[in-house]
Amino acid sequence: MMKFKAMTAVAALLIAPAAFAGGADDDTLTINGELEMTTKAPAPEHLDGIFDEVISGWHFRSDETQQLETDDFDNPGMIFVDQAMDEWNTAEGSEGKSCADCHGDPAESMAMVAATYPKFNEEAGELRTIQMQVNDCRVNRMGADAWKYDSGNAVSMEALITSVGRGTPVQVAIDGPAAEYWEKGKELYYTRTGILDLSCASCHEQNYGNYIRADHLSQGQVNGFPTYRLKNAKLNGIHSRFKGCVRDTRAETYSTGSPEFVALELYVKSRGNGLSVEGPAVRN
């Protein structure tokens, strides 16, 4: 009986009457007056029969929130990029090295990273996210401590690396050795969990554009992560957002940096192949 009541309540939240259903607007996103972003793109082949078009979450936000992302001086996420730039140039660890010592200017060396990660690392024999790769460099090249996943330093550095790739189309590989991770991520995406019996697809595939409470549901694209959320006034990593979504289904969730969330990140990011890298984005 309790589960039935919970499902009735969630149906009322998600299945909005037509009169209240919203959707993506037709605005265009240009950053700093010169960087044109692809925020709508033909859906990748593996979404055939699901979507004809993939749409950035930017289109589902209010005009005021959208405007914050059009200028780096207004985008609060860029504060964390500046902080990470200081970290990039600071020598740390037993080797006395900084990121810059090996990689130079991030605008030149890191421009394609956000578009292609998560990525299978042949030498390590595992799928790696940006934060995993950063920690590998810190431990094995700098002799420094690894950062906790999605901690302040870690997510800020990811934002720096992502920011220099803005405008580049997302193009994560899902074949070869990455395929098994992609399949696991897909399984997680469609698995219903928690007391509310919801999957990622319940909101972001079947009900995007509808209202949930007072906000529009988007397609759940992650091309804008790390994302500054007005709701909690901080920069948020992808895994932290996954954790919050699973928690909202009233289920036990995985940890940030867990194999499950690494696989889910690959799958969800592949759903946005063709959209511009947009992070650090601004969302509600």
Which amino acids are annotated as binding site for substrate, given as ranges? 241
Angle formed by the axes of helices 259-270 and 238-248, nearest 10°: 100
Q: How far is CA 84 from the centre of its chain?
A: 18
The answer for residues whose C-beta is within 8 angstroms of residue 131's C-beta and 6 or more apart is: 147, 149, 150, 154, 155, 157, 158, 237, 257
Q: Looking up tokens 């867990």, which residue turns up?
A: 258
- Pair type for strands 227-229 and 281-283: parallel
Catalytic residues: 245
Question: Residues forming the annotated binding site for heme c?
Answer: 99, 102-103, 137, 200, 203-204, 245
Give dist(CA 217, CA 204) in Å, integer: 7
Question: Residues forming the annotated binding site?
Answer: 99, 102-103, 137, 200, 203-204, 241, 245
> Does residue 172 contact residue 127 with C-beta atoms inside 8 Å?
no
**The amino acid at 27:** D
